[in-house]
Amino acid sequence: AQSVTQLDSQVPVFEEAPVELRCNYSSSVSVYLFWYVQYPNQGLQLLLKYLSGSTLVKGINGFEAEFNKSQTSFHLRKPSVHISDTAEYFCAVIQNTGNQFYFGTGTSLTVIP
């Protein structure tokens, strides 16, 4: 069975400060990993994904994430956040032979002016 854990339900951060949103997963087989962002009253949008290759992946809006197989983690980072980054962020995983995505419980990022 798979599971996805987002360790922080809420992360407040000041504007222009760096941020890291944590995601850990459990799976006995290889997985694909994703981060989605949900702005208020909108659907989820894909930020970035890891399928294979380089463990550091870059996404939209200046976000990046690093896949760490030994720690089964896929943490999301941004060196300098903007007010517009205030949103809910979801980590998701799917087995590379599976047909269902598993989502974490979300992290609410609030950027403080």
Partner 1 sequence: DTAVSQTPKYLVTQMGNDKSIKCEQNLGHDTMYWYKQDSKKFLKIMFSYNNKELIINETVPNRFSPKSPDKAHLNLHINSLELGDSAVYFCASSLDRGNGYTFGSGTRLTVV
Residue numbers at the binding site for partner 1 (CB under 8 A): 32, 34, 36, 38, 41-46, 49, 51, 88, 90, 92, 94-96, 98-101, 103, 105-106, 108
Q: How far is the CB of 56 from partner 1 (least distance, A)?
A: 18
Q: How far is the CB of 98 from partner 1 (least distance, A)?
A: 7
CA distances from 44 to 9, 84, 107, 112 (A): 17, 15, 13, 22
Q: How far is the CB of 76 from partner 1 (least distance, A)?
A: 15
Instruction: Annotate 30-96 with DSSP letters as a single string.
Output: -EEEEEEEE-TTS-EEEEEEE-SS-SEEE-GGG-EEEEETTTTEEEEEESS--GGG-EEEEEEEEET
Smaller CB separation from partner 1, 29 or 113: 29
Smaller CB separation from partner 1, 26 or 45: 45
Q: How far is the CB of 34 from partner 1 (least distance, A)?
A: 5
Judged on CB neighbours under 10 Å (0-12, 13-18, 19+), 84 is exposed
Smaller CB separation from partner 1, 28 or 41: 41
Smaller CB separation from partner 1, 19 or 37: 37
